[in-house]
Amino acid sequence: MQVVTQQQFTLLPLKPSCLVWYAGDPCDELIQQYNQAVEQRQRQEWQFDVAAPLQRQIADQQKQIADQQNQIKTLQLTIESQTTDALQSEARNQAFLNGVGAVLGVGMAFFVAVAGFRRVLARSATAPKREPQGVASALRPWHESDREVINLRG
């Protein structure tokens, strides 16, 4: 919308001071041109009086809209930054917890392996030595106690 200023108003010609003798004579045409210029000037003044405050209001609102759009963009960037930071923090926490879980799992597995190995060693140290049955026992010489066992069986 174009802002109308005082300098853009139509200049009024001098009011004709002649006398109209018939319709269409040169004086009549001068008076009609003068009246048209007056009407145009009145429209311009009215437009200026009515439109100028509205145009200022529109300009103020457009500036306010632009400021709000800038604020929205700034807030969106802030939200994106905070979201990224939160996701990175959550990923670091999850990686830490996964690491702790892996360390605890390996520790438990090591503990179970050591405890099982110690148990096997403890049993083998306290258990009486037994000769394996089979080929090795057949090759060793007989004892008197073995003969008694064989006699009892057979």
Tell me the per-residue pLDDT of 68-87, one tens digit each, with 9 for 90 and over. Answer: 999 999 999 999 999 999 99
Give domain status of residue 135, yes or no.
no
Give domain status of residue 104, yes or no.
no
Give domain status of residue 83, yes or no.
yes
Give domain status of residue 140, yes or no.
no
pLDDT tier, 146 (very low <50, low <70, confident <90, very high otherwise): low
User: Which is nearest to 53 in space by CA: 126, 3, 91, 100?
Assistant: 3
Report the C-alpha dihedral over residues 102, 105, 107, 111, rounded to 10 degrees: -170
- For position 141, what pLDDT does the model report? 57
Give domain status of residue 154, yes or no.
no
Total-model pTM: 0.44
Q: What total number of domains does the chain contain? A: 1
Q: What percent of the chain has pLDDT over 70?
A: 77
Cα–Cα distance, 108 to 102 (Å, whole number): 10
Cα–Cα distance, 100 to 105 (Å, whole number): 8
Say which amino acid occupies 37: A
Q: State mean pLDDT over 109-131.
A: 84
Higher pLDDT, 140 or 9: 9
Domain of residue 39: give its range: 16-89
Residue located via tokens 């009486």: 128
Q: What percent of the chain has pLDDT over 90?
A: 49
Strands (DSSP E) along the chain, which ranges? none
User: Which is nearest to 34 in space by CA: 17, 46, 48?
Assistant: 17
Cα–Cα distance, 32 to 35 (Å, whole number): 5
pLDDT tier, 13 (very low <50, low <70, confident <90, very high otherwise): confident
Give domain status of residue 11, yes or no.
no
